[in-house]
Amino acid sequence: MALQGVEQTILRDPALFYWIVFPITVVMILTGILRHYATVLMNNPPKPASTLAESRERLGLIRGVNLRNNSSVLSKESFEMRKNYLVSAYQSGAFLKDPASRGQPPANPMTDPAGMEAMMGMMKGNMMMMIPQTLIMSWINAFFSGFVILKLPFPLTIRFKSMLQSGVMTRDLDVRWVSSLSWYFLNLFGLQSVFGFILGSDNAANHMASQMASMNPAAGINPFQPGQDPDKLYQSEAENLEVIEHFCILDGVEERVLAHYAGRKSY
Amino acid sequence: MQTTPEPHLANGSNLITTFHLAQKAPLILKRQSSSVETVAPSSLRGIENYGVVEQLLFSCLQSGDDKSALLCTEQLAARFGMTDERIIGLRGMYEEAVAENPTRLEECLQTYDLALSENPVNLPVLKRRIALLRSLSRPVDAISSLINLLDAVPTDAEAWCELADLYHSQGMSSQAAFCLEEALLIVPNSWNIHAFLGEILYSGACASETTECSQLLEVSIHHFSRSIELCTDYLRGFYGLVSATSLLSRNRRLMDHSRDSSPAQASPLTDKLLDELTLFARSRLDEIVRSRSSDHQAWKDNQGELIAAKELLHRLDKSPL
């Protein structure tokens, strides 16, 4: 173990900064920008619904989500009426594009051309992430592996060792030393705000955003992922609607308004 | 609808401002066309400018400047292509505006039907078609097409509001109220829709029996109150609140007289609360009217509403509760 209380010193060539830290950072920023533009170039917008029935199938689900989220603007009777209508429509599959194929296993997304296209889109996005990362990581491994390039100005606990010193197999080295491979990882995760500054907040270099987007179904125009069975989503939405606890925001609104103004000034 | 400003919902847009805007059209169009030639079209400024051109088109059409309107549509078509959904809708609107006789309008309708047969979910054209049906005074057709549209696109608050307006124009206030509730589910915090719903319920109450009338008025007061809770100096909301509360308290007094021993009111809106609310709404409306009348320049676009509010206050002062 390193001696307690004794500052570890490593004599570093100052050229390390110019030849390793600086190039890695610049390359990371440039690839981020390049990836952004490549994604924009290759990305084709999601296809809008081509028939009214398709649009109905997609938006019918969002209508239920809206009712669930904003039910408080309705009175009790209006809410119950809408809830009963939507639940029975969801359960009987009234919103489905073709009700005849209900209950059958969903078409294989590999054979369905529309699903295939969406899959390709996702794959392209993933490839845009994977390929540059693999290339840069192998580049760093080949040229800079094992270099200790930075010393953090503050002490850290031993747990950070695996994060800051990957590629350097020295047990005794103080945690404050940062290896080149770790500098790459720090850049990979830490440059989001730099990209946000250069490219705007909704940039495609930000891979976290793209991952989040695929998890949130209500955000896009099409709430259904390829290969997903709309009927299943409808059934679960019907269950969500049934258990909802309704309150009406219009109850006692007069008292609220009066109290609000009475608090500010006498009228 | 997307392309026609809703008279009930448009706040602060009137013919005078539209006209002033449209007078600037030749200037803006000239600058636009010169900038297209000199500056590379890829600049970000261009995107914003096309939004301006679209707005300008609406103002020009409203103020009768058809030449500039045509220029606007040409610029937009040059950028986005003639087959773009929105461009088809805008061109259609221009054609409708310059049509001299009903037969030309019928031709427009046929153009829309043709465009819809190519792409059945061309929303701008679908909406234009409904608006055209309405202006051809075929409200029943317009309502049925709008219902078809809403069946496919139930998340369009504009369309729900338009349907409510159509129903209201046909005197079907309960249907109109239903549509506005649907719109509220999509945009729960829009105070203008709350106030509009209050207005619909109020006009429904005026046309119905006494007991039902009181119930409708109470719901209407709820919505007006919610509207002013969301927007604290919304003139329309206060106007409606004053009208609804004074009518309701008059009704209750009449009922007390006729029945002598009235049963205990089961509604949460007690007489005391109602009186308090009436008083509050009137003083607040008075305050808003006074402050806006003194600041004439800033509110000159809303003179119509102000005059109506003054009229209401005057009428209420003359006939004490």
Model confidence at A198, pLDDT cuts 50, 70, 90, reads confident
Expressed as residue numbers, the domain containing A94 is 15-264
Looking at the domain assignment, is residue A174 inside a domain? Answer: yes
Count CB-CB contacts under 10 A for residue B116.
15
Indicate the pLDDT class of residue B266, thresholds 50, 70 and 90: low
Percent of chain B with pLDDT over 90: 19
Supply the ipTM of this predicted assembly.
0.76
Residues of B in contact with A257 (CB under 8 A): 225, 228-229, 277, 280
Which pLDDT score, from 0 to 100, does residue A205 have?
A: 55
Percent of chain A's residues with pLDDT above 90: 7
Report how far residue B140's alpha carbon sits from residue B208's, in angstroms, rounded to the nearest whole number.
Answer: 23
Residues 6+ apart with CB under 8 A from A242: A83, A87
Q: Does the pLDDT of residue A35 top 80, yes or no? A: yes
Over range A66-85, report the average pLDDT: 90
Number of domains composing chain A: 1
B152 touches chain A (CB under 8 A): yes
| pLDDT of B2 over the 50 cut | no
A7 touches chain B (CB under 8 A): no
Task: Work out the pLDDT band at B181, boundaries 50, 70, 90.
Answer: very high
**Looking at residues A234-260, what average pLDDT do you find?**
87
Cα maximum dimension of chain B: 83
Q: Please check the confidence at residue B286 and state whether its pLDDT lies above 70.
A: yes
| A219 close to B (CB below 8 A) | no
In a domain? residue A3: no
Comparing C-alpha atoms, which of B122, B93, B164 is closest to residue A55?
B122
A33-72 residues touching B, CB cutoff 8 A: 48-56, 59-60, 62-63, 66-67, 70-72
When scoring B229, B269, B277, B278 by the number of chain A Cβ atoms within 10 A, the one with the most, hence best to mutate, is B229
B230 or A113, which is more confident? B230
| Orientation angle between helical segments B271-294 and B303-318, nearest 10 degrees | 130
Average pLDDT over residues A71-85: 90
- pLDDT, greater one: A107 or A132: A132
Chains A, B: CB pairs < 8 Å: 91
Q: Is the pLDDT of residue B200 over 90?
A: yes
Per-residue pLDDT at B299 exceeds 80: no
Is A56's CB within 8 Å of B181's CB? Answer: no
Q: Where are the alpha helices (DSSP H) in B66-170?
A: 66-80, 85-98, 102-118, 123-135, 139-152, 157-169
Flag whether A109 is in a domain: yes
pLDDT tens digit string along B102-147? 888 888 888 888 888 888 888 888 999 999 999 888 889 999 999 9
Q: Given pLDDT bands bounded at 50, 70 and 90, which one contains residue A216?
A: very low
**Residue A36 included in any domain:** yes
Closest listed residue to residue A77, CA positions, set B177, B134, B49: B177
pLDDT at A99: 72
Residue A9 in domain: no
Q: How far is CA A129 from CA A42, A123, A208, in A?
A: 13, 10, 11
CB interface of A with B, residues 80-99, below 8 Å: 82
Asked whether residue A252 is assigned to any structural domain, the reply reads yes
Domains, chain B, in order of start with CATH, read 1-34+46-137 (1.25.40), 189-321 (1.25.40)
Higher per-residue pLDDT: A1 or A111: A111
Task: Reduce the DSSP state of residue A163 to 3 states and report it.
Answer: helix
Residue numbers in A near B121 (CB within 8 A): 48-52, 54-55
pLDDT of residue B8: 36
Q: CB-CB: which of A60, A73, A78 is closest to B188?
A: A73
The per-residue pLDDT for B166 is: 93
- Residue A8 domain flag: no
Lowest-confidence segment of A33-42, B14-23, B80-89 by average pLDDT:
B14-23
Contact B181/A260, CB-based, under 8 Å? Answer: no
Question: Which residues from chain A sit within 8 angstroms of residue B185, using beta carbons?
Answer: 63, 66-67, 70-71, 73-74, 82
- pLDDT value at residue B105: 87
pLDDT band, residue B195 (cuts 50/70/90)? very high
Cβ neighbours of A265 (radius 10 Å): 7
Amino acid at A136: I
A219 CA to chain B: closest CA distance, Å?
13
Q: Do A48 and B277 touch (CB under 8 A)?
A: no
Q: Are A59 and B174 in contact (CB under 8 A)?
A: no
**Best to test chain B binding among A73, A97, A265 (most B CBs inside 10 Å):** A73
Mean pLDDT of B250-270: 67
In the predicted model, what is the mean pLDDT of residues A177-190? Answer: 86
User: Does the CB of B277 have a partner CB in chain A at under 8 Å?
Assistant: yes
Average pLDDT on A65-78 reads 88
Contact A258 B154 (CB under 8 A): no
pLDDT for the residue A201: 67
CB contact under 8 A, B283 and A267: yes
Query: Over the stretch B14-59, which tens digit does the pLDDT of each residue have?
Result: 666 777 777 777 777 766 665 544 444 444 455 667 888 888 888 8
B247 Cβ neighbours under 8 A, 6+ residues apart: B202, B205, B206, B217
pTM, to two decimals: 0.74
- The answer to whether the CB atoms of A258 and B277 lie below 8 A apart is yes
Q: Return the pLDDT at B18.
A: 72
Predicted local confidence at residue A217, as pLDDT: 38
Encoding tokens for residue B69? 């309107």
- Indicate whether A51 belongs to any domain: yes
3-state secondary structure of A178: strand
Which chain A residues touch B223 with a CB distance below 8 Å? 250
